[in-house]
Amino acid sequence: MKKLFVTGGAGFIGSAFVRLVLAEIPGCEVVNFDALTYAGNLDNLEGVDEGRHRFVRGDICDREAVLAALEEGTEAVVNFAAESHVDRSIASADEFLRTNILGTQVLLDAARSRSVRRFVQISTDEVMGSLPDDDDAYFTEASPFEPNSPYSASKAAAEHLCRAAHQTHGLDTVITRCGNNYGPRQFPEKFLPLIISNAMRGEPLPLYGDGRYTRDWIYVEDHCRAILMVLQKGRSGAAYNIGARNERRNLEVAEAVLGKLGKPLSLIRHVKDRPGHDRRYAIDPAKVESELGWRPRETWESGLEKTVRWYAENGVWVERTRSGAYRDYYERQYGAEKSLESEV
Ligand code: NAD
Ligand code: DAU
């Protein structure tokens, strides 16, 4: 592989993918196209090999900007760019529809007109909705689409557009659907970095509702290795569910973080629930395991240890991301109207 066009590569997962590609594929150049929204952060790319990495600030909805940056000879587009936070999509869906749906179509069109060999769409398990609690049900590639939030509905729409580009225009598309990623450089609006950074400061950890919602956690680098394998060996037109067989309830995650940081359980607060909150995600990764031979390298224990250590050692990154507009968001999301209801 010689040249990749990565979108959203200044965000959490995209930047981890850019790092992985530059480290593992000598000679591969990456054009990293990112609008630098509130979630994009050039600090996430500190230390990458600038000789093989070109950053272009641009919006995936801007057709001309995309075409100007996407050179002939690019082997693949890997689309991470998205509005990614469910709570923000509940507050306002507009930007989710624009970036996640229209932006994906612009990229698909551009990939065709530049004769790009392969298009990888980074999707999510949330397109498949919610599973019942305490059940043996899992998301497989055959599970029906039942998105429950504007975010997941927009990601489902993007998948359909990829399928249409494949079926109608013969574009070589592959889709990955992953669960909840965790690891360094995740914006602290998401549950795990939010509770780690709050716990480090001795501030309350907000748990929506009863805190017994289940997510299937995967270390970000493991997810990126799976994406790389799908990019290199995945079947054209296929989707791959990616998961590390690591279901945890939110309460259990909060207790683990407090334990690692030596903080009291009394910091846990149950707050008003998220509307339409999906109860449980659980991924059956049998296909990516058997077809591509992928396996996660990190266990929950080793991944959480690395993650908590990274946040503890990168106070400047945390403080910078938690300043400015983040404070206003935090106030709107957790302020007076959602005030703390009880302690565990
Ligand atoms: P993130 O919010 O950390 O990063 C998103 C990046 O996209 C940012 O750098 C942002 O600047 C950029 N971006 C947003 N709008 C853009 C636009 N219009 N044009 C160009 N760039 C734009 O997100 P993340 O958590 O790294 O997620 C990356 C992708 O993976 C998303 O597509 C998301 O749906 C998917 N995903 C995330 C998870 C997870 O647990 N975080 C799990 C499964 C799938
Ligand atoms: O499953 C993959 C998805 O995981 C990705 O597609 C999304 O981009 C990503 O944001 C994530 O979605 P979730 O909604 O699962 O992640 P979030 O970090 O927002 O929440 C994780 C769980 O924690 C969920 O049950 C809601 C709960 N939660 C979240 C926040 C922010 C709380 O209890 N309190 C909080 O303050």
- pLDDT tens digits for range 272-295: 999 999 999 999 999 999 999 999
Q: Which domains does the chain have, with CATH numbers?
A: 3-179+220-245+277-296+329-343 (3.40.50.720)
* Whether the CB of 8 sits within 6 Å of ligand 1: yes
Banded model confidence at residue 342, pLDDT cuts 50, 70, 90: low
Residue from 5, 15, 32, 37 whose mutation best tests the ligand 1 pocket (most atoms within 8 A of CB): 37
Q: What is the pTM of this model?
A: 0.97
- Using the mean position of ligand 2's atoms as its centre, give its distance from the Cα of residue 162 in Å: 25
What is the per-residue pLDDT across 155-201, written as a single tens digit (0 to 9) for each?
A: 999 999 999 999 999 999 999 999 999 999 999 999 999 999 999 99
Give 86 Cα–ligand 2 centroid separation in angstroms.
7
Ligand 2 within 6 A of 191 CB? yes
Return the residue matching tokens 């899992």. 138
In this structure, which ligand is nearest to the CA of 99? 1
Share of the chain above pLDDT 90, in %: 94
Question: Is 278 close to ligand 2, i.e. is its CB under 6 Å away?
Answer: no
- Give catalytic residue positions: 125-126, 151
Q: What's residue 209's pLDDT? A: 98
Q: How many whole angstroms separate alpha carbon 127 and alpha carbon 282?
A: 12
- Which segments of the chain does DSSP mark as H helices, in order? 12-24, 63-69, 86-91, 94-96, 104-113, 150-169, 191-200, 220-233, 250-261, 286-292, 300-313, 315-321, 325-334
Spacing, Cα 279 to ligand 1 middle (Å): 22
Task: Please name the residue that has the structure tokens 């031979």.
Answer: 293
Question: Parallel, antiparallel, or unpaired for β 214-219 and 247-249?
Answer: antiparallel
Contacts of 321 (CB under 8 A, 6+ apart): 41, 187, 188
Question: Which tokens is 213 given?
Answer: 């919602």
Q: Tell me: the pLDDT tens digits for 195-205?
A: 999 999 999 99
Reply yes or no on whether the pLDDT at 343 is more than 50. Answer: no
Q: Is 107 left (phi over 0), alpha (psi -120 to 50) or beta?
A: alpha
Ligand nearest to the CA of 152: 2
Q: Dump pLDDT digits (tens) for 97-152.
A: 999 999 999 999 999 999 999 999 999 999 999 999 977 899 999 999 999 999 99
**pLDDT at residue 344 greater than cutoff 70:** no
By the 10 Å C-beta count (0-12 exposed, 13-18 middle, 19+ buried), 205 is classed as buried
